Amino acid sequence: MSRFWSPIVQTLTPYVPGEQPQMQRLVKLNTNESPYGPSPKALAAISSQNNEDLRLYPDPEGAALKKAIANLHGLNSNQVFLGNGSDEVLAHVFAGLLKQNKPVHFPDITYSFYPVYCKLFGIDYQTVALGPDFEIDLTNYKTPNGGIIFPNPNAPTGRSIARAEIEKLLARNLDSVLVIDEAYVDYGTESCIPLLQGASCPENLLVVHTLSKSRALAGLRVGFAVGHPTLIEGLERIKNSFNSYPLGRLAQAGAIAAIEDQAHLEATSAKVIQTREKLVSQLSTLGFETLPSTANFIFTRHPKHAGAKLYQALRDCGIIVRHFKSPRIEEFLRITIGTDEQSAELVSALQEILS
């Protein structure tokens, strides 16, 4: 506390990211990073930019990266917005599109950064309860709102909804922006990006992606949003009133190569999905109940063992997972899918703990 803080600083409850422990030999399954490295082509592209040109500012527009993203997704470059990680993209989305006269709606159990942004930007919000099986029930999103945002698949539950369901919501929610945060879309969820292609692109749908998860570049900090050019223009106005150069030269070069290496993405995502399915069945043998996941993490609980205790017991074995002390989900563990070896270590540690 300092008397020099501006009044708003005292009111904030900042987001607490998953721990990045410095200990060696840890099985780190707590922040949904990829267990596999990024595309070797991305690493080579970053190295190739590691030279004297770093004295120069990067392209403020990130035009080449926008083009690569547009090409991959069948869009135009003016439908792409770039940010220093999708958290920054989301910040601009809240400030630029979701701060309206009516409250923004999002699930009561979801990415905990959303309410943090609302506080920061003075945005009124209303949470909508997940259904009995922790699913997002879009029939509960019927009242007037200043915008709707949710991740698909949802975090930390891992549950996803079909694109057709989202289209139905879009058809009746015409007066505010619908934001789909597709941070984990590459592990088996239908993307909403095809809805944005061509002349029928809705004016009020925005899809947010990150290179931090399936493209294994959390350390590079690149995210993007795609949508109608007028939404993108609004976001650009915010960005250019805040930081005109959010993406450095290395980040732009690495991101382009990563986006173009679809084969690497598909191969590594397929491995994660395979490890996930095996882990879910092994956990079920141990008595765990796991929500159906289309993400690179699972949300699981044991009817006879408290979540907080399991979290601590795993930690004592050098395995870090995520536990949330929040209503309805405190019996759950959110476990990032690692390599098969990490998965095996997790399963044998749990066998030990439960016996």
Ligand X SMILES: *Cc1c(COP(=O)(O)O)cnc(C)c1O
Closest distance to ligand X from the beta carbon of 295 (Å): 9
Nearer to ligand X, 91 or 319 (CB): 91
Closest distance to ligand X from the beta carbon of 87 (Å): 3
Closest distance to ligand X from the beta carbon of 54 (Å): 23
Nearer to ligand X, 17 or 287 (CB): 17
Closest distance to ligand X from the beta carbon of 185 (Å): 10
Closest distance to ligand X from the beta carbon of 155 (Å): 4
Say how far apart CA 206 and CA 315 lie, in whole Å: 38
Nearer to ligand X, 176 or 210 (CB): 210
Binding positions for ligand X, rule: CB under 6 A: 85-87, 111, 151, 155, 181, 183, 210, 212, 218, 223
Nearer to ligand X, 212 or 342 (CB): 212
Closest distance to ligand X from the beta carbon of 246 (Å): 12
The encoded tokens of residue 337 equal: 């899918």
Closest distance to ligand X from the beta carbon of 218 (Å): 5
Nearer to ligand X, 87 or 350 (CB): 87
Nearer to ligand X, 158 or 350 (CB): 158
Nearer to ligand X, 215 or 305 (CB): 215
